[in-house]
Amino acid sequence: MYGAMRRQFPFTGLAIVATSAAVVFAPVQACITIPPPDLATPPPHPPVIDHAGVIPLQDTTLSTWPTPQTPLLIPIELFDPDESFEYAVFIDYDPSTTTQADVGPVLVRPPPTVMDGGTYLLEIGTLPSAPLDGLCHRLEVDVARSFASVHTPDSVGGDSVWWWYGANGCPPSWPQDGTLPADAPYDGVQLIPDSGGTE
* Residues 75, 30 share a domain: no
Whether residues 64 and 1 fall in one domain:
no
Domain of residue 156, residue span: 48-165
Q: Which helix (H) or strand (E) holds 161?
A: strand 158-165
Q: Residue 90 and residue 41: Cα distance in Å, rounded?
A: 34
At 23, give phi and psi (nearest 5°).
Answer: -65, -40
Q: Are 174 and 181 in contact (CB under 8 A)?
A: yes
User: Tens place of pLDDT for every residue, the chain, 199 residues?
Assistant: 555 555 554 555 545 555 555 555 445 555 566 666 666 666 778 899 999 999 999 988 998 899 999 999 999 998 876 788 999 999 999 999 989 999 989 999 888 766 556 888 999 999 999 988 888 999 999 999 999 999 999 999 999 999 999 877 786 644 444 444 444 333 334 444 444 544 4
Answer whether 198's CB lies under 8 Å from 176's CB: no
Domain containing 73 — which CATH number?
2.60.40
Residue type at 109 in one-letter notation:
R
Could you tell me if residue 192 is inside a domain?
no
pLDDT at 137: 92
Per-residue confidence (pLDDT) for residue 56, from 0 to 100: 94
Whether 60 and 18 map to the same domain: the answer is: no
Same domain (yes/no): 63, 157: yes
Query: Is residue 7 assigned to a domain?
Result: yes
Mark whether 54 and 151 lie in a shared domain. yes
Q: Is the pTM of this model over 0.75?
A: no
Tell me what pLDDT residue 119 has. Answer: 87
Pairing of strands 61-62, 158-165: parallel
| 3 state DSSP class of 51 | helix
